[in-house]
Amino acid sequence: MPATDDRLSAVLRTCTRMVGRAFRARVRNIPQQPLQCAARASHGAASSFASMAVLLFAYSVSLLAENGAPTPPPNAVPWGIASSAGSMATFAEWLPKMSAVGVRWVRMFPEWRSVEPARGSWKWDSLDAMVRSAAENHSEIEAILMGSAPWSRDGSHAFPMNNLADWSDFVSASVDRYKQQIHCWEVWNEGNGGFNDHHNTTADYATLVTATRAAAKKADPNAQIGMTVASFDAPYLNQAILAQARDGHPNSFDFLCIHPYEIADGLADANGEIPFLWMAHLLRDALAASAPDRRDADIWITEVSRRIENKNGRISSEEDAARALVKIHTMALAQGIKRTLWFEARDPVGEDQGFGLLDREGNPRVACNAMKAMTTWLGAAPIYQGWLALGAAGHGYGFVFRGAWGPVMAAWMPAGKTDNSTTLTADALVIDPLTGGGLGAEGWPAVDPDLFTPIRNRPARGFGGAVPHARWQKLPLGRRLFGRRRSQPPVWRVR
């Protein structure tokens, strides 16, 4: 859940200022890479980009026919959901809907006291049903290990520092029972925030993670153990990693988990992309200094969202949340973050509302459409190709991926800016991810006539368009952007 701790807010403000200055300086030194064909520039169709995100798909029938991509392994899929405790109670209702949207990872697991209410007395039935339902819906569980000893008098979210042997038994039993189905285990939830009843320290957390990893590896040598943090509190993670080394147990983790709600909320502000794009870089710099053998450890966003609300002067609509989802997932992929788990699938009863892809009644919100568009057009395992500074001033963002069907670019201008100068030169299909882009009966991307209208040889209005002949364009990394030549291709615009 989003953290409100003043200390975290101060850290984030400092981080934002530092990376903002660095990133702006770097962007100014990148040569502009306009998407235009020098030989046919006069035929270009100028695209109007604003802060709303669009997907540009290099549309080619021959390319579509060649790209019936096999189903990737789960570890290659970045799309996921994080569930609250309240929403987890209705997993059987929303898991099939999330699977249909393209979600393949789900963060959920009951707390210790639900599994072992008394020492040595185990209750697996409901958990077995959850794991079975996830498998039936083609989803992998990323499990949270959390809770104080059920027979202690500690607060329910106090680190079990006085019961580490019992905790280790709980971990080993859980990992051993589900080692065929669950491979990634996250130690606690936001222990630096509101889930720390005894105000345990980073040294305590380091000890807890070390004990957890030893117990998990005993049951399953292939188990992966993640350290986690509320917000983007890189100093907390760094101090815990250093504490492990001081205790003689360096590198006792496999991946890192962050919940960058505050940084993601900044995407609604001018240049809000800057601190978001630097998260992985800052973490890897810290790992290089504190745990060089784990410098390339996977980084996950195991919670992030944009809450739909209208109170205290803050207004965030369904459309705002959907645009944030597209930008967050795009920029996470671009900086090498392994996967992003959106909080959450469905608004629960009795807990905070406004985060879910589904409302409390199970109806899809606009963000659910956006998630479907992302998983459809970028594919189950998109491959990042490079990025372009779009627009006359180079302020726009264009992130290019190799999707299941071919090249796709997610593009937008920062908040408060628009641009009409970017020109496309391929058989491009311009998609508003808030409304469009599913698969047809034959398994190819379908163009809904209610959403897209074909035009030829004239500038497109609205979100963008394309000139009528495809050419290869070069990215800054030397990768190809747009598809093959084809005579008389259609050009598309969003109504």
Backbone angles phi, psi at 186, to 5 degrees: -105, 130
Residue 175, pLDDT score = 98
Residue 128, pLDDT score = 98
Residue 451, pLDDT score = 32
Indicate the angle between helix axes 202-219 and 234-246, nearest 10 degrees.
Answer: 70
DSSP 380: S
pLDDT above 60 (res 367): yes
Q: What is the mean pLDDT of residues 141-161?
A: 95
Residue 62, pLDDT score = 36
**Residue 204 — very low, low, confident or very high, per pLDDT cuts 50/70/90?**
very high
Interval 207-221: pLDDT, tens? 999 999 999 999 999
Residue 388, pLDDT score = 86
**Residue 1 — very low, low, confident or very high, per pLDDT cuts 50/70/90?**
low
Residue 42, pLDDT score = 24
What is the pLDDT of the chain when averaged over all its residues?
79
Q: In the chain, what percentage of residues exceed pLDDT 90?
A: 57
pLDDT above 80 (res 303): yes
**Residue 435 — very low, low, confident or very high, per pLDDT cuts 50/70/90?**
confident
Residue 420, pLDDT score = 77
Which of 47-51, 269-273, 389-393 ranks highest by mean pLDDT?
269-273
Domains and CATH numbers, the chain: 34-69+383-494 (no CATH), 74-377 (3.20.20.80)
Interval 19-76: pLDDT, tens? 344 333 433 332 333 322 222 222 334 455 566 677 766 544 333 334 445 677 878 8
pLDDT above 60 (res 236): yes
Q: pLDDT higher for 482 or 53?
A: 53
pLDDT above 70 (res 475): no
Secondary structure (DSSP) of 254-320: SEEEEB-HHHHHGGGSTTTHHHHHTHHHHHHHHHHHH-GGGTT-EEEEEEE----EEETTEEE-HHH
Residue 418, pLDDT score = 86
- For residue 360, give every residue at least 6 positions away whose Cβ sits within 8 Å of its Cβ, in sequence order, or none: 346, 347, 348, 349, 353
Residue 257, pLDDT score = 98
Residue 312, pLDDT score = 80
- The lowest-confidence range among 34-48, 148-162, 396-410 is 34-48
Interval 218-234: pLDDT, tens? 999 999 999 999 999 99
Q: pLDDT higher for 39 or 149?
A: 149
**pTM of the entire predicted model:** 0.81
**Residue 182 — very low, low, confident or very high, per pLDDT cuts 50/70/90?**
very high
Residue 70, pLDDT score = 62
- Whether residue 389 contacts residue 374, with contact meaning beta carbons closer than 8 Å, is answered with no
Distance of CA 69 to the CA centre of its chain: 22
- Whether residue 304 contacts residue 344, with contact meaning beta carbons closer than 8 Å, is answered with no
Q: pLDDT higher for 346 or 393?
A: 346
Backbone angles phi, psi at 418, to 5 degrees: -135, 165
pLDDT above 50 (res 467): no
As a whole number of angstroms, the distance between CA 140 and CA 181 comes to: 7
Residue 487, pLDDT score = 28
Residue 390, pLDDT score = 85
**Residue 442 — very low, low, confident or very high, per pLDDT cuts 50/70/90?**
very low
**Residue 353 — very low, low, confident or very high, per pLDDT cuts 50/70/90?**
confident
Any idea of the CA torsion for 327, 317, 432, 374, to the nearest 10 degrees? 50
Reduced to 3 states, what is the DSSP secondary structure of residue 83? coil
**Residue 458 — very low, low, confident or very high, per pLDDT cuts 50/70/90?**
very low
Q: pLDDT higher for 178 or 14?
A: 178
